Amino acid sequence: MFRKIAKFIKLVLFGLLLVLGLILIYDRFFSSKNIAIVHNNQNVKSIEILLTDNNVAINNIDTSRMDTDMCKRKIEGADGVIFAGGNDFDPEIYGGDRSLVEEYSREDDDKSLAILDYTIGLKKPILGICRGMQLINIYYGGSLYDDIGKQFSTQIVHRGSDKALSYHEIDLSEGSILSKILHSDRIEVNSYHHEGIKDLAEGLSVSATSDDGLIEAIENPYYPYMLGVQWHPELSYENNKYSKKIFKDFVKNSNAGRN
């Protein structure tokens, strides 16, 4: 009797180990989620690499090469959407000064706003990076500084000379979603932008600010999942625990399903 019980226990343990092994293999080699990256002919390789490392299938949406309807169809199949960095916006959209901006395309801006509107209509989880964060603010009625150094402050360098990355610290807003994700109240971030949020759109909340008072991160507390950061966490993902936390939290919450 004892031998039969022992044999049964061994079979049960073997079965449990087999199931666990199959789960690990599936998680390692088979994508369980699909994340769309919306950009305008930008280099998003860093985002693609980190999503692959997180076992996520990538849906690359280049708005400069696809019409709006095609972009929308690709959004429908995504579990979450990243609006990546890119060119400036046409200041006419929010009442700014065209003489202060660099490369922009009004056609692409309008397309990006339409895609964001469609994404919001589907309630897909959203992460905005740099231009993506600014896009969210403009969509809800906010405005931008066309040139931070000329219109706001030179206290902090938000983009290095020759358009190089710079670095500075930011304060996370107490009680914000971002502070809960990162479990910190102050972190260092990279910086690569000359535009920034001027008037925050109604309904959005400030998640972080730099020491000069510029808004560095935003969130929408009335939406299932919407976070925007001004820096580029994808560029520091490999060696920065906070960058890892941002993307891992986004992937974890990208579970809206495919409509």
For the chain, the C-alpha Rg in angstroms (whole number) is 21
**Continuous segment of H or E residues that includes residue 223:** none
User: Is 232 considered catalytic here?
Assistant: yes
Integer Cα distance of 220 and 227 in angstroms: 7
Question: Are the CB atoms for 93 and 137 separated by under 8 Å?
Answer: no
Contacts of 179 (CB under 8 A, 6+ apart): 172, 173, 185, 207
Determine the residue type at 249.
Answer: D
Integer Cα distance of 125 and 106 in angstroms: 25
Integer Cα distance of 9 and 154 in angstroms: 70
Which one of the listed residues 39, 130, 193, 216 is annotated catalytic? 130
Which one of the listed residues 39, 158, 193, 232 is annotated catalytic? 232
Which one of the listed residues 195, 216, 219, 234 is annotated catalytic? 234
SS3 percent helix, strand, coil of the chain, rounded to 5, is 40, 20, 35
Integer Cα distance of 149 and 169 in angstroms: 18
* Residue of 140, 116, 130 whose CA lies nearest to 194: 130
Tokens 């280049």, located at residue:
62
Enumerate the active-site residues: 130, 232, 234
